[in-house]
Amino acid sequence: MRGRACLFHATLLACLFSLALHAQTSLPSTLTLEQAEAIALKNQPRILAAQLRAKASAEKVNEAKAGLFPTVGFNATGTEVADTGTSTAVGNITTSSLSDRFAYGGNLTQLVTDFGRTSALISSARSAAEAQKDMAILTRAQIRLSVREAYYQVLGAEAVLRAAQAAQANRQLVSRQLSALAQSELRSTLDVDFAKVLESEAELAVVRAQSSVAQQRTHLATAMGLQQPIAAALHDISVLDEALPPSPGDLLKEAQMQRADLTAAQAQQYSAQQFASSEKRLAYPTLNLLASAGQIPYHDHTLHDDYAAAGFNLSIPVFNGGLFAARRTEAEQEAKARTRDVEQLQLEVSEQVRDAWYRVNEAYRSLAVTARLVDQSKEALRLAQDRYEAGLGSIVELNEAQLNETSAEIAAADATYTYLTRRTQLDYAAGLLN
């Protein structure tokens, strides 16, 4: 009975966990782009990891600040069966401790000055933490970019599928009409065979388009941080009415100020400079205040019952084989390298913004061209169908018109979602997805 009860409870817990997981990851029947981004920012492991690293980096500031606060320790020491007649000793037990006793007390050490080394370390850690926050912001922008690209790819694949299904329906209709005309001996069987081939080609195009839609929906699920494919219908998005800037100049200024990877690199550069400053101060003296107090409840009769002392310690580095000089030089060279890294990244950001702007401009100009192409191909298909029905055209001419119309529909869909994708890439390059 106990085993059955345990099995029942385990099954109940598994069901509850499954229901909770399903409730957590359930999607609406229609998924908008905003909802997809919100789900991705909540579930994507990359953003969660970046946020945890930012929190961990913030603790390094507290670690550096600890050097400014006093250090307090408690000690207890006991000695038994000591040879009180001994006058000298080596190692960790000194001659002054060669007596039976027990003592406890506390020690306090307070840094007075290290000539700014700890302050420089704090500043370096703070800048490094800011850089890690910027990397978390960059990860957020990258996730939004991935979700938008995947979302538009699904919409584009579904548009291609609709065009392929429309072409398939049209060719099936033509095939049925030709079969009926062939039975009445008004058309040759060659036309029927040709139409069957074209119908099979259209069916193959539909199969490929369906596979592409399934793959793109899987990519969207991965971008959203979900394991199950996205089955919800996506809300279609029309071309944005927002005008494209006449030149990439304004976007370049925004990118220099808002790109999270650039601000992170600048923060890392400043952190390296502050660390180099702290390494330079290794060769400076360090002054500490010391205090110690406690009691000796069990001791030799020559000792007092308690003790207390205060003093200072001044440490002046003299020679350590060039260690401090090497560390200072290493830190300075690293700071200079970080400066060059920022300059290189600025060049790359400028190139990315300009390249993205030109690509968006090309895609935007292609929209009108592909729209005209669709209208022209539809008119050409209508004329080809009229010519074929009147016996003035061949099945080859009709097939070519159908292919042109299908290709124009696919090109128009591709142009629309290519523009949306490239516009998103331009927003990312300009730092507008933070």
In degrees, rounded to 5, the angle at the alpha carbon of residue 339 between the alpha carbons of residues 336 and 340 is: 95
Tell me what the mean pLDDT of segment 420-424 comes to: 93
More confident residue, 35 or 406: 35
> What is the reported pLDDT for 40?
95
Tell me what the mean pLDDT of segment 236-241 comes to: 72
Continuous segment of H or E residues that includes residue 110: strand 101-113
Report the 10 Å Cβ neighbour count for 186. 10
> What is the reported pLDDT for 258?
92
> What is the reported pLDDT for 138?
96
Split at pLDDT 50, 70, 90, the class of 192 is: confident
> What is the reported pLDDT for 126?
97
**CA 228 – CA 222 distance, rounded (Å):** 9
Tell me what the mean pLDDT of segment 85-95 comes to: 52
> What is the reported pLDDT for 11?
46
Tokens representing 154 are 């699904």
| Spatial CB neighbours of 434, under 8 Å, sequence gap ≥ 6 | 137, 140, 141, 258, 260
Mean of pLDDT over the chain: 85
Q: Please check the confidence at residue 98 and state whether its pLDDT lies above 60.
A: no
Crossing angle for the helix pair 249-258 and 260-280, nearest 10 degrees? 50
Tokens representing 381 are 């298909």
Domains of the chain by residue range: 30-75+100-429
Tokens representing 144 are 């939004």
Beta strands 233-234 and 30-31, pairing class: parallel
Split at pLDDT 50, 70, 90, the class of 13 is: very low
Lowest mean pLDDT among 162-176, 261-275, 409-423: 162-176
* Residues paired with residue 104 on neighbouring β-strands, in sequence order: 76, 295
Q: Which 3 state secondary structure label does DSSP give 299?
A: coil
More confident residue, 239 or 18: 239
More confident residue, 189 or 260: 260
Split at pLDDT 50, 70, 90, the class of 58 is: very high
Checking phi first, is residue 286 left (phi over 0); if not, alpha (psi -120 to 50) or beta?
Answer: beta
Tell me what the mean pLDDT of segment 148-173 comes to: 89
What's the one-letter identity of residue 364?
Y
Tell me what the mean pLDDT of segment 329-355 comes to: 96
Model pLDDT for residues 242-260, shown as the tens digit of each residue: 678 888 888 999 999 999 9
What's the fold here for domain 30-75+100-429?
Outer membrane efflux proteins (OEP) (1.20.1600)
> What is the reported pLDDT for 423?
93
Split at pLDDT 50, 70, 90, the class of 100 is: low
The answer to whether the beta carbons of residues 98 and 86 sit under 8 Å apart is: yes
> What is the reported pLDDT for 6?
47
Q: What is the pTM of this model?
A: 0.81
Tell me what the mean pLDDT of segment 287-312 comes to: 85
Q: In what order do the strands lie in the sheet with 71-79?
A: 71-79, 101-113, 286-298, 306-315
Q: Please check the confidence at residue 93 and state whether its pLDDT lies above 60.
A: no
Tell me what the mean pLDDT of segment 291-316 comes to: 85
